[in-house]
Structure 1
Amino acid sequence: MKTTPVTFEDLQSSVIAVPPLCRNQDLSLSKAQNSRLIKHMHKGGIRTLLYGGNANLYNIALSEYHQLLKMLVDLAPEDMWMVPSVGPMYGTAMDQAKILGEFAFPTAMLLPTLFPSKPAGVATAIRHFVEKSGLKAVLYIKDAAYITPELAAQLVNDGLISWIKYAIVEEDPKKDPYLKKLIKLVDPKMIVSGIGEQPAIVHMRDFGVAGFTAGCVCVAPSRSTAMLQAILKKDYKAADEIRQEFLALEDLRNGISPILVLHHAVELAGVAATGPVLPLLTELPANVLPKIEKAAKALLAKNG
């Protein structure tokens, strides 16, 4: 597992994949299937994995956390970053910070929540987490009410943040007042577009952010990697053509459930058996699975 500090070059060297977490039928972690998924992504050029919302770490038991971290370390190729998440609640994050201290992860992300939280409280929680874990944190901004750009900048200026995952959804990503303000206060080289392939071109080209995270990359890592490389070469036409390959599956994620559709898509495409979802989430209705399977298999076929 790669353990070096986060750099701008690292953030641009790979799409940051946000995979589901494969489980057995008894809800225990499946080392074999998670290994299969990781190898698929690594073969497609992915060198950073962020285990967060798509892995449903919101609902993980604290008693399972050490086992999860050990599994990630065991399965990680030497040149791959593994980034686990903590929280979203303060007490959980503090307990997880102590467990993280037993490993050599370079950073960890605080899962966002709007209830019960306040922007100043989020900033304080991150300060406490960094102090207790000894790790710089990934700041995940998913909603404008979560933390202000000014507070985010203070955390960055105090050396507490490794990078920012920016994921506020705007109808037109070119018109984003929060991101426009954030890049005035924070070096955009520390910011990563956090909403998949769809807004990545605009965020990287127009706002200058370093790279992007994605979920559907788990199905077609080679295509998502090619899209990142096209953006970096400023071949936006080629990048947009690749972006559209992800549209069918992304539309299903947006229309049904981003986490659940990806969880099923990885299995229905034949990439890895993701197994049952951990409550508080539930399985999807059977009638939507054929649509997901069709889109996932079509995307995988483009992966080559």
Structure 2
Amino acid sequence: MAVPPLARNVDYSLNPHANRKLVEHIEAGGVRTLLYGGNANLYHVAVSEYRELLDMLAEIARQETRVIPAIGPDYGKMLDQAHILSQTDFRTAMVLPLAGFTTPQGVATGLKRLVDAAGMPFTLYIKSEDYVDVDTLAALIDDGTLLAVKYAIVRADPAVDPYLLRLLQSVPAAKVVSGMGERPAIAHVREFGLAAWTTGSGCIAPNAVTALLHAVKTGRMDETRQLYNRFLPLETLRDEISLIRVLHDAVTLSGIADMGPLLPLLSGSPEAALPAVAKEARDLVEMDRAIARVRNAAPSRETPVKSG
């Protein structure tokens, strides 16, 4: 499930051409679900721009590609966006997490009202155990308020996670997506049985991330580890500096598409970090092209992966 950055022009207006170039690159690598959320900096998008954004996202992807936009993070903004969503053909949207000023019961009440306004179930992005408790979360999935959960609570060891373990006792693993990129993905798929993960670096190397998903699902662990290790240098830079800012700049520096400036209140990566970001992004592109050449030269035995 690719989580792309969002390209803008120098005046911060949306850039359909650059966004389409990135989407075509991702689709060519076999990824068929696009989630526009944190990496696209939708935290700061104006409600007045939201319909234009949705229309653009619907136009730039193939018909068979599933596109999921995000709403939020505050309730007032989400309510306005839910009404806009109700006028479109989108089937779900992801709720961005809000830090502070929430209670689990308040979140549950708000989600139900938003579902009524939008006429569709939502995907909930959780980054903290305090946001919503396991029983409430399970009930929201059971009653159809939530279609899925993007799980992104950071652990020192992703294989040791009592909250996720309790959640999966009540919720099918197919409804929980690992939401923190490649770093915890292998543990989440192998130890907890999650069906998919969200990827930022996979927007740059979609053939490689598709190959990684096939390898881990089929138990080819030597291949899994080799592919996994190739993603870690860029993922480490993202962890150390900023997940959103580094990926945004990495796509531009990779040569795939010019993402332009980040919408305020964010800004680009530190100047001093750009050479390292450029190197790792270009290394990923080179690896991805090599995997694509091998795949295209061999008789096809696998169909493209549709995650999510």
> Residues of 2 paired with 1:193 and 1:161: CA distance?
16
Q: Does 1:241 align with 2:226?
A: yes
Q: Deviations over 1:226-275 (max 9, x none)?
A: 01111221223322211111000000000000000000000001111000
> Residues of 2 paired with 1:277 and 1:231: CA distance?
34
In structure 1, the residue matched to 2:12 is 27
Q: Pick from 247, 263, 267: which aligns with 1:278? A: 263
The one-letter code of the counterpart of 1:45 is G
CA shift, 1:110, in A, is 0.5
| 8 A contact 1:201–1:240 mirrored in 2 | no
TM-score by length of 2: 0.92
TM-score by length of 1: 0.93
Q: Pick from 100, 107, 113: which aligns with 1:122? A: 107
In structure 1, the residue matched to 2:68 is 83
In structure 1, the residue matched to 2:202 is 217
> Residues of 1 paired with 2:270 and 2:246: CA distance?
11
Q: Pick from 2, 26, 35: which aligns with 1:50? A: 35
The one-letter code of the counterpart of 1:245 is R
Equivalent position SS for 2:123:
strand
> Residues of 1 paired with 2:221 and 2:112: CA distance?
38
> Residues of 2 paired with 1:45 and 1:134: CA distance?
30
> Residues of 2 paired with 1:87 and 1:141: CA distance?
13
Q: Please list every run of 5 or more consecutive structure 1 residues that lacks an aligned counterpart in the other structure.
A: 1-15
Moved over 3 A (4+): none
The one-letter code of the counterpart of 1:86 is I
Q: Does 1:185 align with 2:170?
A: yes
In structure 1, the residue matched to 2:239 is 254
Equivalent position SS for 1:138:
strand
In structure 2, the residue matched to 1:263 is 248
* RMSD of aligned residue pairs (Cα, Å): 0.9
Q: Pick from 122, 129, 141: which aligns with 2:126? A: 141
The one-letter code of the counterpart of 1:109 is M
CA shift, 1:52, in A, is 0.3
> Residues of 1 paired with 2:209 and 2:145: CA distance?
30
| 8 A contact 2:246–2:268 mirrored in 1 | no
How many residue pairs get aligned? The number is 289
| 8 A contact 2:71–2:77 mirrored in 1 | yes
The one-letter code of the counterpart of 2:229 is Q
> Residues of 2 paired with 1:213 and 1:238: CA distance?
20
> Residues of 1 paired with 2:121 and 2:225: CA distance?
33
Equivalent position SS for 1:212:
coil
Q: Pick from 158, 163, 171: which aligns with 2:143? A: 158
CA shift, 1:70, in A, is 0.3
> Residues of 1 paired with 2:228 and 2:130: CA distance?
29
Equivalent position SS for 1:83:
strand
> Residues of 1 paired with 2:98 and 2:162: CA distance?
21
> Residues of 2 paired with 1:235 and 1:197: CA distance?
16
Equivalent position SS for 2:64:
coil
Range 232-241 or range 186-195, more displaced = 232-241
CA shift, 1:115, in A, is 2.1
> Residues of 2 paired with 1:208 and 1:35: CA distance?
33
Q: Does 1:95 align with 2:80?
A: yes
Identity, % of aligned positions: 46
> Residues of 2 paired with 1:85 and 1:262: CA distance?
18
> Residues of 2 paired with 1:234 and 1:126: CA distance?
38
> Residues of 2 paired with 1:133 and 1:226: CA distance?
36
Equivalent position SS for 2:124:
strand
> Residues of 2 paired with 1:298 and 1:178: CA distance?
36
Equivalent position SS for 1:214:
coil
In structure 2, the residue matched to 1:60 is 45
